[in-house]
A and B are shown apart, each in its own frame.
Chain A
């Protein structure tokens, strides 16, 4: 982190009115891609509890800027819990608690005084089931910029930009005022991505974004993700190992371990370049999982 002096100090205070776009325009040197020297988010020894139950134990992962990091593992291994902790969506679950450190540009996201609302403005999220608002396509996109108080000179342009960014503009440009619920599942999910990028986050978290979609819609979303890494950092949770192999740069493999009291905790087994995980994993559990012998 010490070399990254070009990055403005993170300022997640509600009052600050940070110019998000200014930060995004700072280009990352090409060498940083896959270079592993510029994590935008870092998890250090993270435990996540629901009440007294520890759902995730001791996870440390760096999330590299403008890469796609995939989290894979069997059901109940805490991938989604971990993902939600990255933009404090877990705060909405009563009793959820995080220990360890999760930093964003070096700022501890769980430090006192950090505003979860501001965190979510900077770290967006796309859900498993497409969840467009029961409003028009246009209003789905303009909602985020409006509620976050972004200074928008021309909302029409922003809507077009967001929909274009999510590879949906061509399909919906003549029906922006119609209900988003009339779109197909795949289009709805791309609308949710468009809605997320309309507020210009730096990171997009995706929680099994394709599991409710058919293969054609899935392929479109995967293409889109590759496009999005030009501007955004993506963390994706997926059940689909081929998907992780296809789209991601880094892969974290988690699994559930059972402790002596019979409780299951999610633990990180292996984190590495996706190529390495899928061709020469160093842990035999990883190898067993990706070859389909377990999970």
Chain B
């Protein structure tokens, strides 16, 4: 386990966190840290606790035991508001508010921060260009957008106030393969360009390997293996890791 100096050097860390929902164990004495400017993918089957890690880092949940450290300081409920403003969060269906236009969704936090309308509009257009979203779409309501457009707007909303980090929970999980592939390309380009700390939750190994240099494979609330894709593939920590890596069928296998 890293010593406390190493922990204080990373902006986001979890130390010996355990959490259970009734009988279900979500986290079991889990320790993780995320270095500035890196992209990490949390992978594992559903129920492995990977989403709980993100929710802990945002103060949306609290560990039963253990701590969450932000810039080396233990996270307290009173700190969550400023923390959440420097972290962008995107979930599977985007979580866009249906009663507001795309621009209205984007404007929520900036308005709270006291930005004037001009600045909000400029920033929205800047991000629309970055995410390849047609500018006209900003005036539409979420129900009028395609699934891919919705996720782009959700990403823009997360980026509006230029956060230090992005937490993405299955951001492409609900999209069809073509749109998904397109967005994977765009996302990777954006991550590279912005150089932010990114933590991505996915159950798709290929997607994880595509985005992240570091993969954390979780099972039953604990880390099974933490390393590069090649480490997981060539030196699996146990039988479960091996099966997880080999599980995806490839087209040539099916065609044979």
**Are both chains from one complex?**
no
Which residues of A come within 8 Å of B, CB atoms?
none
Which residues of B come within 8 Å of A, CB atoms?
none
